[in-house]
């Protein structure tokens, strides 16, 4: 079936009917090996002047990008926020390889640049606040998210890091990925500690998330390096080490631990949504609260 083209345009681009609500998966024009989907609130009007915040939700190793997008629909409608979920497939360059995006740089690919290109593409079509976005990732997405935070604090309104199996500590005692001593040599730019301190940070994990089978790095692994065990044995230990490392550099961190939950990303999302809502509330003029509530209510009403 051929998509119906909506004649109203944004920045000269026609938006098909698959570009509203739960959108289709779109190839990233910067690198078409990667793609992304969005959720656009029901009240979005191309002819209006409202600009929407952007929340980026990064999948874990299971690559369930559309499911994470869908899990934030209620948040998107409540906050009148557009949601973007990237898809970084397994097997890029090397068949069967599953960790590519987690460490940001893989062969000649910079996954941070791919995501930034996706954000720019969304901004070329929708009225979004693309300069600074909300970012959450769980498990493998938590790997990516805290490393993206190190490299691009200037692009973040807030960052929520969910239960990463392996963490990079903010220490100059070790090289990347264990530490950040050689980050400038690896990525071409130094760390901006003042910028990091300006970004609200949340760490989130299930209280029963203690399994180690997936996150123990054997010495035979290509990702092993000296210090790989420094942060602890399981995700609880490693998140605690990450928190301590950030706090040692004056970064304000809050942690949310959800009781009775194991390594289950969809069961730890309520604290993430609350954290993001708080950030957005602090940015928005007091007089706009009622207006946004009305818009959100209208967006939740079923069309007649």
* Dist CA 127 CA 111 (whole Å): 24
Q: What does the pLDDT read at residue 302?
A: 41
Domain count, the chain: 1
Residue 72 lies in a domain: yes
Residue 141 lies in a domain: yes
What is the value of pTM for the model shown? 0.89
Residue 304 lies in a domain: no
Residue 142 lies in a domain: yes
**CATH code where residue 139 lies:** 3.40.50.1820
For 26, 116, 117, the CA distances from 29, given in Å and listed in that order, are 9, 12, 8
Residue 302 lies in a domain: no
Residue 241 lies in a domain: yes
Convert the pLDDT of each residue in 187-201 to its tens digit. Answer: 999 999 999 999 999
Longest dimension (CA), the chain: 62
Convert the pLDDT of each residue in 253-304 to its tens digit. Answer: 999 999 999 999 999 999 999 999 999 999 876 544 455 554 455 445 543 3
For 91, 101, 109, 144, 288, the CA distances from 203, given in Å and listed in that order, are 29, 20, 27, 13, 29
102 close to 144: Cβ distance less than 8 angstroms: yes
Residue 166: which domain range?
A: 5-284
What would the two tokens of residue 71 be? 């899990």
Convert the pLDDT of each residue in 91-101 to its tens digit. Answer: 999 999 999 99
Residue 293 lies in a domain: no
Residue 289 lies in a domain: no
Convert the pLDDT of each residue in 48-63 to its tens digit. Answer: 889 999 999 999 999 9
DSSP string, the chain: -PPPEEEEEETTEEEEGGGSEEPPPEE-TT-TT-EEEEEE-TT--TTS---B-EEEEE--TT--HHHHHHHTHHHHHHHT-EEEEEE--TTSSSTT---GGGGSEETTEEHHHHHHHHHHHHHHHS-B--SSEEEEEETHHHHHHHHHHHH-GGGEEEEEEE--SS---S-TTS-TTTS-TTHHHHHSS---HHHHHTS-EEEEEETT----TTT---TTSTT--TTTTTT-SSHHHHHHHHHHHHHTTT--EEEEEETT--S-GGGSHHHHHHHHHHHHHHHS-TTHHHHHHHHHHHHHSPP-
């Amino acid at each position: 079936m051929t998509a119906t083209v909506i004649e109203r345009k944004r920045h000269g681009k026609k938006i098909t009917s698959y570009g509203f609500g739960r959108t289709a998966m779109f190839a990233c024009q910067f690198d078409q090996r990667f793609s992304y989907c969005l959720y656009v609130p029901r009240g979005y009007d191309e002819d209006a002047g409202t600009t929407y915040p952007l929340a980026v939700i990064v999948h874990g190793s299971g690559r369930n990008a559309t499911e994470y997008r869908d899990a934030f629909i209620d948040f998107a409608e409540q906050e009148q926020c557009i949601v973007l979920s990237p898809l970084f497939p397994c097997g890029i360059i090397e068949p069967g390889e599953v960790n590519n995006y987690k460490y940001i740089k893989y062969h000649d690919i910079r996954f941070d640049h791919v995501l930034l290109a996706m954000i720019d593409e969304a901004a070329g079509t929708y009225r979004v606040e693309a300069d600074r976005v909300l970012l959450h990732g769980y498990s493998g997405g938590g790997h990516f998210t805290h490393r993206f935070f190190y490299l691009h604090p200037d692009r973040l309104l807030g960052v929520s890091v969910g239960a990463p199996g392996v963490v990079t500590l903010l220490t100059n005692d070790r090289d990347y990925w264990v530490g950040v001593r050689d980050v400038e040599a690896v990525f071409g730019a130094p760390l901006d500690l003042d910028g990091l301190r300006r970004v609200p940070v949340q760490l989130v994990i299930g209280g029963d998330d203690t399994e180690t089978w997936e996150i123990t790095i054997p010495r035979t692994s290509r990702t092993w390096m000296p210090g790989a065990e420094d942060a602890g044995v399981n995700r609880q230990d490693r998140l605690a080490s990450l928190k301590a490392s950030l706090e040692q550099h004056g970064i304000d961190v809050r942690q949310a631990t959800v009781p009775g939950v194991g390594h289950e990303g969809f069961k730890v999302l309520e604290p993430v949504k609350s954290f993001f809502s708080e950030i957005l509330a602090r940015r928005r003029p007091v007089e706009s609260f009622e207006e946004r509530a009305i818009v959100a209510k209208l967006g939740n009403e079923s069309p007649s």
